[in-house]
Structure 1
């Protein structure tokens, strides 16, 4: 079972959409569309959404705007989302553990946005991240839901590149990985870094509108923001 992203290019990149039973990691710099992506997948598919918002990025107003622009009743859209707002690492751990009993056949998606924010703020090691990912992996498989984990980036001075936080820890548990970037002209780009069925390196372009994320036809785009 696949959940549509609402963007034809992204669905093709992901071999049809966001898969149930596995964890999809979406990472990238600020304002590249990661939260909008997660909200949109929840909005456009059947089933309830458990949304763990660690950064205060979930916006009911934005979700209502996206729903209305797509001809979806905003109130019904909001009622699909079960929002959790952990204020620290300990609350986050408890909430993710509680999801094992909360998630039932009415749910199709779990989102953690982002998994690493409190770890970064509290200066912890990534051992607890691994434990929470193990719980999320269990939920994905046993409850047959899609799990989207949003991740932040940091500047790696040794390579001069932006890299995902806890790269190896998350990489071990996340079967599918998307990287979002911004182009100078305002167009966003999604790069497939890993997938169970697709070769890595696939690229699609999209834009952010009132509807959320939409396809954009772009040819010969070579200049990306640093």
Structure 2
């Protein structure tokens, strides 16, 4: 198996054992503005900066300005770098399914596939009180399809996931619960922390103990590790 995909943040790479692992799905979950999209986008830019390609399935409407900002911190030729990041814009739940299926067409030419977010449209269906179970099964099928591509082509897959408040524990839990966690080889919880920092906590990994944390901050140039403050 090849080397992991660097995230562009040294602390996160160390936490993950080198970066986003190939052959598995890595799930990033947390509340809004926790850094999920920034981390996924940073990894895509890092992949492109190394001369490889990435597929970014975008349900959130990523900022082109932010992409260019991250790219310009890595190279003077922003256009060349950006040309190696394939962005697939998705406008609804059905389009998300199509984009995930179409990822197979790019699997041989990319090193990283990002689905940001896996559950945004699922959350809408869930609140509209449609068949939430059917919608969750559909998302799970999408994730398992991406997992099969990761295994077959030795690439990294990153999905971002939103949270809901569990009424029993009053804690934020990842949407999709055990279903999506089961298919995720690595689970990383992101949250806003004091001083404007973000905290990443490793909750699941095949080769590292759960519970390790690091802090980072989001800057104009990308993601910067922060020394732990007691």
- Using the size of structure 2 for normalisation, the TM-score is 0.91
Name the one with the larger helix percent: 2
User: Per-residue deviation at 1:73?
Assistant: 2.4
2:36 counterpart residue number: 34
Q: Does residue 66 in structure 1 map to residue 70 in structure 2?
A: yes
1:224 counterpart residue number: none
Distance across 1 between alignment mates of 2:209 and 2:146: 25
Look up the SS of the partner of 1:163 in the other structure: strand
2:7 counterpart residue number: 5
Distance across 2 between alignment mates of 1:72 and 1:34: 26
1:97 counterpart residue number: 101
Look up the SS of the partner of 2:199 in the other structure: strand
- Residue deviations 1:147-198 (CA, integer Å, cap 9, x gap): 0000001111210101100011111100000000111321110000010110
Distance across 2 between alignment mates of 1:101 and 1:10: 30
Contact 1:54 1:85 in 2 (8 A): yes
RMSD: 1.2
Distance across 2 between alignment mates of 1:167 and 1:72: 42
List structure 1 segments (4+ residues) > 4 angstroms apart after TM superposition.
none
- Using the size of structure 1 for normalisation, the TM-score is 0.92
Corresponding residue pairs, total? 218
Contact 1:51 1:113 in 2 (8 A): yes
Distance across 2 between alignment mates of 1:208 and 1:215: 9
User: Per-residue deviation at 1:70?
Assistant: 3.3
User: Per-residue deviation at 1:72?
Assistant: 4.6
2:54 counterpart residue number: 49
Q: Which residues of 2 match residues 160-175 of structure 1 at below 5 A?
A: 160-175=170-185
1:117 counterpart residue number: 120
Distance across 2 between alignment mates of 1:174 and 1:26: 10
2:22 counterpart residue number: 20
Contact 1:60 1:78 in 2 (8 A): no
**Which 5+ residue runs of structure 1 have no aligned equivalent?**
221-226
**Which 5+ residue runs of structure 2 have no aligned equivalent?**
127-131
2:129 counterpart residue number: none
